[in-house]
Amino acid sequence: IDEVQIWDTSLSSDEIGNILCGITGSEPNLIGFWDFEEGDGDQALDKTEYSNHGSINNATYLRIGSSIFGNRN
């Protein structure tokens, strides 16, 4: 899983297309956004104002250039 988003509304195909260009976490109606780019630690940070952070257990992170890859055991 690369990222998880939770919206409190249905999205049109145009809105979905815009999301593919990237989001920040401050978009209207976005209530949860975890991009899993932490790179270390035991939390998946929610990028929205709601800060519903999650726990990560037994993760191994690998950084190649600017990309981060995770492997959960």
Reply yes or no on whether the pLDDT at 16 is more than 70. yes
pLDDT digits (tens, 9 = 90+) for 21-63: 999 999 999 999 999 888 788 999 999 999 999 998 988 777 7
Consecutive H or E run containing 68: strand 67-72
Predicted TM-score of the model (pTM): 0.78
Which SS3 state, helix, strand or coil, does residue 19 take? helix
CA distance 21 to 19: 5
- Cβ(42)–Cβ(56) below 8 Å: yes
On whether the CB atoms of residues 71 and 64 are closer than 8 A, the answer is no
**What token pair was written down for 1?**
């899983």
